[in-house]
Structure formats: structure tokens, C-alpha cells
Amino acid sequence: MKLAVFDEWRVGLVAQDGLVDITDRVSGWEPVWPYAWMLRLIGEFDSRRLEWANLLGSRTRIPLAKVRLRPPVPMPSKIIAAPVNYVLHQKEMGGAGGVYAGAQIKTIEDYGLFLKPSSSIAGPGDTITLPFSGRRTDHEAEVGIVIGKTVRNVTEAQALEVIFGLTGLMDLSVRGQEDRPYRKGFDGFCPIGPWIVTRDEMPDLDQIAFRLWVNGELRQEGHTADMIYSMCRLVSLASYQTTLYPGDIIASGTPAGVGEVRPGDRLHLAVQGIGELSVAVAPEPATPPADMGSWFEKFLVARGVPQ
Ligand code: MN
């Protein structure tokens, strides 16, 4: 089953020839904050999926071309992200010509996981404004794991049951020495979509190919078989740190091929079995307020490598 958020944050099921609005079937949907509708739908999914699936057959389908798709989880309680989870990406970052050439790039075993703010989420067709004109910002193509249950301390063996589904994800990143949550936490730095595909439609999480293009040029080609920590291990590790809630997102890491994103670029991600996600980069980078103060100038230039 494919679940989408569209128009004014309504929730729907995606079929081949359109989308079915089921917002009115999410319990308590009217009075609650719309950003919570998908969270509630995910939380209730197991007990109500048959009822909702029936609506796919009985309700009018809205052509996809007539809706504006939104990020499928507009406001998760958190986005947890894997810092370096593909060996070839680890090598490209610290290798000759890499962004951090000469630095020893470590992996999750050294860095642990990090958090991106929920406000960094963007959706299909959104435009992202780069925060700095003089600093390199990269694309990272990833598969996003959507959590389906409230859990803590799950083992790797239990983790599969906790995964509700998957979505496409880009982990945009300013390069430099600041901590990851700062460099990767700007508004729009976590596009997700185009929808969530539930796990039952993704038979093998370790066999998913994905690609990212910039202005039509293929830049990244990855495969989840190459992950250092599998999706289940990531869920297990994340759940040992924090309680996971329905709708939480885990960014599972990027393969090799990361590269610079420039104003005016168009990014396009295709994930096997999920779908395609495109976002635009605004033609001009952000401009800080004129009276920002001289202290801010140090943030406008990249310094050093991350620890
Ligand atoms: Mn990443």
C-alpha cells in the first residue's frame, strides 16, 4: 500500500491511476493539527488497514496530476540519520580529491547516529534555498525508513516489525567542521517522498537500488546491499538511544557520488519499488539580515574538517 500526504496536508492511498482521500477515516482527524494526520494513520494502520484498503475500491480516485503531493510525514517527532554507512562513500570523503581529503572518515561505530530537525523536511516539488553562497552544499541520496510503532530497545531481529515502510530521502549537507545537526539541519535539507510504501510491498530491504540525478546528469547510484549497518541494525541502534514513535524517519546513509548542489539545480531521486522525488534549488542563496553582526561572518566560510 502507498500512503501520501497531499494538498492541505490531507492523507490518502495511492493507486496506479490516482489517489483516494481517507482523511475523514483517521480517528479524531478534525480537531487535530493536520501535520499529525499521517502520524495517526501510521499508528492505526495495523488495526484498520482492511477498512482503508476497501476505500481504495469504493471511493473516487483523484488523478495524481490534480493534487499537490506533500512530504509523506510532514512533522515526525524526529529524523535520525546514519553519518557514514557505505564504504565507498567513506573512501570518497577522505580520499584524494574528497571533500575532507586526508581526514580519517569514520563510521557509525565511531560517530553514532545524529538528528536532523523535523523542520528540515521538504516534499515533492518543493524549492530549497541554500543557506550560504560561499560554502559547498552536497546532495546525499538515501532511503528513508518510516517507523510504525512506539518502541524502545528492540533487537536487530525484532526491528523488521517496527519498520512501517520506506520513502525516498535526500540528506542535504553543508560541508565544514560544525556538528552534523547544524550542517544538515537547515530548512528544506530533508526532502522525502513521493509517498510511503509499506513494508509488505518491499520484500527485501537489502535489495533496493536507487539513483540521484542533478539537472539530468546521473550522480549517485546506490544499492542497500552495500550498507555497513542494515536498516534493521539502524532501527535497533536508534531505539536504544531514544523511544521511536510512529512516523519517525531514519535516514539510512548515502552511497558514493555525493557532489555539490548549486543555485538553480534540479535534484531527482528514484528508488526502486518506491518512486521518484524531485526538488528544485532556488536560483539565489539566502541572504542574512543586513544587521546580522560581524560575529556571523565566520559561518559564511568553511573551516577545517569535522571531528
Ligand atoms: Mn546522509
Q: Report CA(120)–ligand 1 centroid distance (Å).
A: 13
Q: Report CA(84)–ligand 1 centroid distance (Å).
A: 7
- Distance between alpha carbon 245 and the CA centroid of its chain, in Å? 16
Count the Cβ atoms, other than its own, within 10 Å of residue 36.
17
The grid coordinates listed for 231 are 536498516
Return d(Cα 269, Cα 221) in angstroms, integer.
Answer: 10
pLDDT band at 134 (very low <50, low <70, confident <90, very high): confident
Q: Report CA(151)–ligand 1 centroid distance (Å).
A: 24
Q: Report CA(262)–ligand 1 centroid distance (Å).
A: 18
Return d(Cα 265, Cα 180) in angstroms, integer.
Answer: 23
Q: Report CA(51)–ligand 1 centroid distance (Å).
A: 37
Q: Report CA(198)–ligand 1 centroid distance (Å).
A: 22
pLDDT band at 81 (very low <50, low <70, confident <90, very high): very high
Q: Report CA(294)–ligand 1 centroid distance (Å).
A: 31
Q: Report CA(143)–ligand 1 centroid distance (Å).
A: 10
Beta strands across the sheet bearing 217-223:
127-128, 275-281, 266-271, 209-214, 217-223
Q: Report CA(83)–ligand 1 centroid distance (Å).
A: 6
Q: Report CA(107)–ligand 1 centroid distance (Å).
A: 12
pLDDT band at 37 (very low <50, low <70, confident <90, very high): confident
User: For the residues 39-55, what does the mean pLDDT come to?
Assistant: 92
User: For the residues 289-297, what does the mean pLDDT come to?
Assistant: 91
Q: Which residues contact 109 (CB under 8 A, 6 or more apart)?
A: none
Q: Report CA(258)–ligand 1 centroid distance (Å).
A: 10
Give the DSSP letter string of the chain: -EEEEETTTEEEEEETTEEEE-GGGSTTTTTS-GGGHHHHHHHHHHHHHHHHHHHHHHSPPBPGGGS-EE-SSSS-S-EEE-S--BHHHHHHHHSTTSTTTTS----HHHH--EEE-GGGEE-TT-EE--S-SSS-EEE-EEEEEEE-S-BSS--HHHHGGGEEEEEEEE--EE-SSS-HHHHT-STT-EEEEEEEEEGGG-S-TT--EEEEEETTEEEEEEEGGGBSS-HHHHHHHHHHHS-B-TT-EEE----S--EE--TT-EEEEEETTTEEEEEEE-SS-----TTS-GGGGGGGS--S---
- Which residue carries 524531485 as its cell? 278
| CA R_g for the chain | 19
Q: Report CA(202)–ligand 1 centroid distance (Å).
A: 22
Beta strands across the sheet bearing 173-174:
173-174, 137-139, 259-260
Task: Answer whether the bond into residue 289 is a cis peptide, omega within 30°.
Answer: no
Task: For residue 122, give the nearest of 70, 64, 55, 185 by alpha carbon.
Answer: 70
User: For the residues 137-160, what does the mean pLDDT come to?
Assistant: 97
Q: Report CA(244)–ligand 1 centroid distance (Å).
A: 19
Q: Report CA(288)–ligand 1 centroid distance (Å).
A: 26
pLDDT in the model for residue 305:
63
Q: Report CA(82)–ligand 1 centroid distance (Å).
A: 6
Range with the lowest mean pLDDT among 101-115, 139-153, 158-172, 214-228?
Answer: 101-115
Phi, psi torsion values for 284, nearest 5 degrees: -125, 140
Return d(Cα 118, Cα 121) in angstroms, integer.
Answer: 6
pTM score of the predicted model? 0.95
Q: Report CA(60)–ligand 1 centroid distance (Å).
A: 39
Instruction: Dihedral sign for Cα 181, 182, 187, 188, please.
Output: negative
Q: Report CA(224)–ligand 1 centroid distance (Å).
A: 14
pLDDT in the model for residue 111:
92
Whether 186 shows a pLDDT value over 80: the answer reads yes
Contact (CB, 8 A) for 98 and 139? no
pLDDT in the model for residue 32:
65
pLDDT band at 303 (very low <50, low <70, confident <90, very high): confident
Q: Report CA(237)–ligand 1 centroid distance (Å).
A: 16
Task: For residue 223, give the nearest of 208, 240, 237, 243 by alpha carbon.
Answer: 208
